[in-house]
Structure 1
């Protein structure tokens, strides 16, 4: 499904590496914890403190890695495509190792992690299948794959791509794709994953307090968290 069918902004669009390289200075002041970390907090599994080794695909500035570290995860590797984001993650120090690579083609060892996690990455991928296959390859038997995503409904209803404000003041979009929930299920199941848990976050009072202009989206789903199991 093409985002262009829903685009209500018409922003100039750049690729992922360019966009996040330019957004990095203000990224953490822009992305709200309510989008992703609040959803991770709601998950019943995995038992975070029991995770021995995790890989954070599309780790960005290390927000998710720091959240995992605070939950007691033992060892965390991070992978990201953008050097500028990795530099911030490196200064944060939540990851044991950071690798510049595509989240869907990491080059890391097979069956090395009992937790694979990816947050707010998939909308930048034209095809979900390589990400789910790579997560499966990296996962140990009985491992968990936790994935947090922009809800496709919100992307379609708002017509808003992932975007940032450049130093010039221009609003710039980063390549955005629409993946339905069924797209995730199909890609995951075909890779061998079993769905263990799914949570959807809606625009509520907390969100409207953060983004008053989003009152018109109240009760619309904005993000989702999947937990997959490698049986």
Structure 2
């Protein structure tokens, strides 16, 4: 099935001109089967990382929830209060069908603010989403607004895009301003081990704690 799927290579795509809705309208019907065939496990790895820091009774935002794979992984770990947002109506419909989310909303993550009060969540998981966003700064700023002080952000980015869009500099800026504290930034790891032509493609896992700038 995944051999018939035609997706532009994000490392060769101008993200400012990427039509994310169209991309996932086409991808949604075969998404879960495709990523399973490709050996994709980022959603599970990120959920397990978040579980290390956040109790299961706390509210979690799955930012860019897609078909609900992160939600499934969080539920498997015991989380019950999960909110999901995504830009694709087709992906959201699949997430809703899982029954794992307390609330779901259509949201373009590049358009801030999101429809939640500040300090609404104990953590945000954002998996496989920054690879579709040209400028991470306003998104990270919005994540800070939504996560309580001492809460956590767990997110991923492709290694090539991490470098291309200067994530090191962006994240260092948040640290230097005392807004985020780096917990860990992983070494790059292969994320689609079974997908033809992607054996050298790697992803980076980032975990940051939200700092209360009023302290």
Q: TM-score, normalised by structure 1?
A: 0.73
Cα offsets for 1:117-160 (capped at 9, x unmatched): 1011112111111110110010011110100222227x98xxxx
In structure 2, relative to structure 1, the CA distance for the partners of 1:182 and 1:25 (3 Å cut) is same
In structure 2, relative to structure 1, the CA distance for the partners of 1:76 and 1:222 (3 Å cut) is same
Q: Which residue of 1 aligns with 2:96?
A: 90
Q: Distance in 2 between matches of 1:35 and 1:212?
A: 16
Q: Which residue of 1 aligns with 2:78?
A: 72
Gapped regions of structure 2 (runs ≥ 5): 1-7
Moved more, 80-89 or 104-113: 104-113
Provide the aligned length of Structure 1 versus Structure 2: 195
Q: Distance in 2 between matches of 1:132 and 1:50?
A: 23
Match of 1:148 among 156, 180, 184: 156
Q: Which runs of 4+ in 1 moved over 4 A?
A: 212-215
Q: What SS does the corresponding residue of 2:138 show, helix, strand or coil? A: helix
Q: Distance in 1 between matches of 2:33 and 2:173?
A: 33
Q: Which residue of 2 aligns with 1:223?
A: 203
Tell me if the contact between 2:44 and 2:73 (Cα under 8 Å) persists in the aligned partners: no
Structure 2 residue 136 is the aligned partner of structure 1 residue 128: yes
**CA positional deviation for 1:203:** 3.4
Moved more, 100-109 or 42-51: 42-51
Q: TM-score, normalised by structure 2?
A: 0.77
Cα offsets for 1:186-218 (capped at 9, x unmatched): 4643581111012234339x92xx235445x3x
Q: Distance in 2 between matches of 1:40 and 1:229?
A: 15
What value does the CA root-mean-square deviation take over the aligned residues?
3.0
Structure 2 residue 30 is the aligned partner of structure 1 residue 22: no
